[in-house]
Amino acid sequence: MKPNILIKISFVALFASASLLTAKGENHKSETILYTTYQSGGSDWVAPKYVEKLKNPLAGNAKATKDGKILFNTNCVTCHGDKGEGNGPSAATLNPKPKNLTSKQVQEQPDGALYWKITTGKPPMLSWQQTLNEKQRWSLVNYIRELRKK
């Protein structure tokens, strides 16, 4: 191996680990850690511990919350219902049923866990990673917090 290739490789490794440590929502490299598969078998969908540390880069951003509402109404209501209560028109045919996003069980989870679940998906909910960008997915987390207040 030529020395300059080695330098390049170690630079990439350094960059990747630095990105993992900072885990910024806007940082594309941080997305690689989100490919981890969900736990199957159990009835509860539990996000892995490490995602709890992900910081919501749009926390408290009112414009993002508004965007999140539009995204929710476009992409999520057919299953989760217009108030997020899990009773959308498609819900009846699904197994397991869409979660009630206003519930204590969902609202108690950190932003990072909800972001991870939206990103990863779990059948019958597909992953939103390819359809919605990081900003859009964090905006949805913001809006899910709004649903609690209603």
Residue 58 binding ligand HEC, by CB under 6 A: no
Q: How far is the CB of 61 from ligand HEC (least distance, A)?
A: 17
| Alpha helices in 1-150, H assignment, sequence order | 3-22, 62-75, 77-80, 104-107, 111-120, 134-149
Which range in 12-20, 25-33, 57-65, 94-102 contacts ligand HEC by CB under 6 A?
A: 94-102
Instruction: Please name which of 133, 142, 135, 136 lies closest in space to residue 60, comparing C-alpha atoms.
Output: 142
Residue 64 binding ligand HEC, by CB under 6 A: no
Residue 114 binding ligand HEC, by CB under 6 A: yes
Instruction: Please name which of 150, 147, 140 lies closest in space to residue 65, comparing C-alpha atoms.
Output: 140
Interface residues with ligand HEC (CB under 6 A) are: 45, 75-76, 78-80, 90, 94, 96-99, 106, 109, 114, 117-118, 122, 124-125, 128, 140
